[in-house]
Amino acid sequence: MTPNPVAKREISLIVNGEAKTVRAYPMERLLDVLRQDLGLTGTKEGCGEGECGACSVLMDGVLVDSCLIPVGQAHGASVVTIEGVAADKRFRALLEAFLVCGGAQCGICTPGMILASVHLLEKKPEPTMDEIREGLSGNLCRCTGYLQIFEAVAEGARRDVRIGSRI
């Protein structure tokens, strides 16, 4: 089909605060570059078409589905994955709340749920239940029935406000 195969190119991005350069085809999905080139397998693939949110990451501070991002569009961007969130003590209260409330079962949706929660809480530190439902509406879970997850986000926000740990 293509007589001259497309060349890989150097793509530089900041991942969880560290500068990285990868050689990749620009139409490779950010999801695959994170998992395969950078070994960050915390980001999951569910549907591969932007419906389920399992591959959620923050790119330049906003929630995106990494399966829908050609890595060519991530050149120069700052990406935060679940590994970055886990290492960030600002979000410890949120992660603990997921444990305490039973917000994770099989675990496939969990990284995406937590990234969506981080995105929500950064905009709305004390969200209402409706805001939590909306903030996580692009993330699908087949185990929990969602209520434990919504409660985890609410509890995370309450603990966080109490501890005052988030900037």
Residues contributing to the site for another protein (CB under 8 A): 1-2, 5-6, 24-29, 48-51, 53, 56, 62-65, 67-70, 72-73, 75, 116, 119-120, 134-135, 137-140
CB of 3 to another protein, least distance (A): 11
Write the single-letter amino acid at 78: S
Nearer CB in complex with another protein: 56/81: 56
Rounded least distance, CB 23 to another protein, Å: 12
Closer by beta carbon to another protein, 28 or else 151: 28
| Cα dihedral 64, 117, 166, 85 sign | negative
CA distance 133 to 145: 12
Sheet with 78-80: list strands edge to edge. Answer: 18-24, 9-15, 78-80, 56-59, 62-65
Smaller CB separation from another protein, 27 or 106: 27
- Least Å distance, CB 14 to another protein, is 16
Radius of gyration of the chain (CA): 17
Q: Which of 8, 70, 83 is nearest to 38 (CA)?
A: 83
Q: Which two tokens stand for residue 77?
A: 């961007």
Backbone angles phi, psi at 116, to 5 degrees: -65, -35
Minimum gap (Å) between residue 112 Cβ and another protein: 9
Residue closer to another protein, measured from CB, 102 or 138: 138
Judged by DSSP in three states, 65 sits in strand
CB of 52 to another protein, least distance (A): 9
- CB-wise, 2 or 19, nearer to another protein? 2
